[in-house]
Amino acid sequence: MRWHETGQYDFSLVTTYFPVLFIILRSSLCVAFVYWIESFLLLQQHALLMLTVCVVYIDSLAMYHSDFDRACGHLCMCALAVLTQQQQSTCSSSEIVLLIVCDLLWSACAGVEVICRTTRRVYGYQLQKTVACCLFACVRVALSCDPMTFMQAMCRTWLYNILCSLLLLCSAFLPQHDAVHPSSVVYICAHIFYVHLYAVIASVTLIVCVHARLVYLHVTQKDNTHKHDNTHKNNNTHKSDHLYTSHDSAHLQTTVTNDYSDLLKTLQAAKRAHNLV
């Protein structure tokens, strides 16, 4: 789950979005495959788990060369979320309260990480953040009451991959690009697969708004720098033109004076020659 590319992307090029579309397509096929196997082949849970792990492992080997895929976690997150949220159970009132608290805390932690990541205020603690994310996921799965439907799984998969792509494409605009940790993308977006729909909407809105502001500040700063460079260049051009004009005027005046003196000398010589004749 590493991210090594440091260059900025040209968002006007269609090829920039090919990795995004490709991972969305593969993850969607993975989710559809898991639900199809479970519904029509009626495999036992351990057999379904083994088959899914093999598919995810082969896909990760095939796409290992892609830094984009590794940063998104390949197909691990979508497959893990689908396999661990298929049980149907009855939740008590205390369990529902714990689920709400877990969702709110997990979403809040992800939101704080997004803000700190884009403002360069907090560094380190990556191991602690990863442990906290794992604890939230374990609590959420252990207390889950309703199974994830096929449409929920597909929508959450699309949102997860789109948000991961947004974080990666905007990583070049961060105040300190070298400080981006390999696990930060998955840590920020993993809760999309587990928390309640309202928490998902709030998290998506926050992430999109923060990164839209980041892109806007980058574009504004770039325009101001471009305008400053043009103004400085125009000032230098005007100064050069002024110096060039002054130099030409002085040179022209000297040339006219020299030509007038030569002409006067020629006329005087011609006059003396005429008098002699």
In sequence order, the 6+-apart residues with CB closer than 8 A to the CB of 144 are 84, 85, 87, 89, 99
At residue 6, the pLDDT reads 45
Domain that holds residue 211: 14-221
In sequence order, the 6+-apart residues with CB closer than 8 A to the CB of 194 are 81, 85, 103, 106, 136, 137, 140, 141
Give the tens place of pLDDT for each residue, 97-135.
898 999 999 999 888 888 887 776 555 677 888 888 889
Number of domains within the chain:
1
Give the tens place of pLDDT for each residue, 173-226.
776 654 455 567 788 888 999 998 898 999 899 988 988 888 888 778 765 665
Question: Is 246 contained in some domain?
Answer: no
Specify the pTM.
0.74
Q: How far is 73 from 59, CA to CA, in rounded Å?
A: 11
> Residue 211 corresponds to which tokens in the numbers above?
């990164």
Question: Is 82 contained in some domain?
Answer: yes
On whether the CB atoms of residues 1 and 183 are closer than 8 A, the answer is yes
Average pLDDT of the chain, as a whole number: 78
Question: Is 119 contained in some domain?
Answer: yes
Question: Is 70 contained in some domain?
Answer: yes
Q: How far is 81 from 153, CA to CA, in rounded Å?
A: 8
Question: Is 122 contained in some domain?
Answer: yes
HSE value, Cβ hemisphere, 13 Å, CA-based, for 208: 9
On whether the CB atoms of residues 28 and 155 are closer than 8 A, the answer is no
Question: Is 243 contained in some domain?
Answer: no
Question: Is 138 contained in some domain?
Answer: yes
Question: Is 234 contained in some domain?
Answer: no
Please say if the pLDDT value at position 41 is more than 90.
Answer: no
